[in-house]
Amino acid sequence: MKKTVFALPLATLVIGFSMMGRAQTPLDIDVDFPKKSFLFNSYGDKVTFIELQDMFLSIEEREEQEPRIDTIRIVKRLSENDFIITERSNRFALMHREILVPDSIVSMGAAIEGKSVEEIESAYKKSGIPSYAPLRVRYAFSAPKIAQMEKAPGLDKVKREDLIASLSWRPEIGDMLKAYLEQTGDGQQFRIMQMVQNFGKKKLVDLGYNPYRQVVYNWHKQFADDEEVMQLLDEPISFD
């Protein structure tokens, strides 16, 4: 998910919360899921994501460092789970949020992008959320789910049958990928790979793993003699 340039320094936010009566930090904000959820960045650090009245706060907890706080400005609310937000370079996006598992897992992502609020709102009213929107999301979790995941095995402990399930993306997202390519013309290989990998991580979460845990693993070495697994690992992402 892209982050806005309207970032507020930690000190500014802390001062603002102190004026409410006691010294607080944004992490102390007490709102229910999904208005407060948690996800992991690419380094495995936990990120707290909070919806306020006119912005989202993204609070990245980093080891031995002060938390990094970014803001995403909410320009307009179209529904309880659809928000027009600001992005970089004076562009806008419609961020769509969908609860996948009640009190546990939510997806969030930029479903529509454009140069103005009017352009995005017009596309939303005309066609709704694109069918390929689930490909362009990040997954966030409730506090109890995060606590469960922090104890779950990582990618180095994946069983054969679960790995196969996470690599078998075509039946579930193949049609969405084709629709994305046809409607956007975006054939960048790295972006398609990210979408496939994102599907695999969500599948492993569903199967009881924490794919965001930072561990050392090598599936090619671990399953070197398994023809089915090797074929799935090395299969190119292509369509007839």
Give me the pLDDT at residue 128, please. Answer: 93
Separation of alpha carbons 135 and 138, rounded Å: 9
Residue ranges of the domains in the chain?
1-142, 152-240
Low-confidence ranges of the chain (pLDDT < 50): 1-23
- The per-residue pLDDT for 90 is 79
pTM of the model: 0.84
> At residue 26, what is the residue type?
P
**pLDDT at position 77:** 96
User: To the nearest whole number, what is the mean pLDDT of the chain?
Assistant: 87
Q: How far is CA 147 from CA 46, 141, 144, in A?
A: 11, 10, 5
Residues 44 and 58: beta-carbon distance below 8 Å: no
State pLDDT tens for residues 52-103: 999 999 999 877 778 889 999 999 999 999 999 997 777 999 999 999 999 9
Q: Which residues of 140-156 are buried (b: 16+ CB within 10 A; e: fewer)?
A: bbbeebbeebeebbbbe
In this predicted structure, what is the pLDDT of residue 24? 59
**11 contacts: CB under 8 Å, gap ≥ 6:** none
pLDDT value, residue 5: 37
What is the model's pLDDT at position 156?
Answer: 97
Q: What is the pLDDT of residue 240?
A: 62
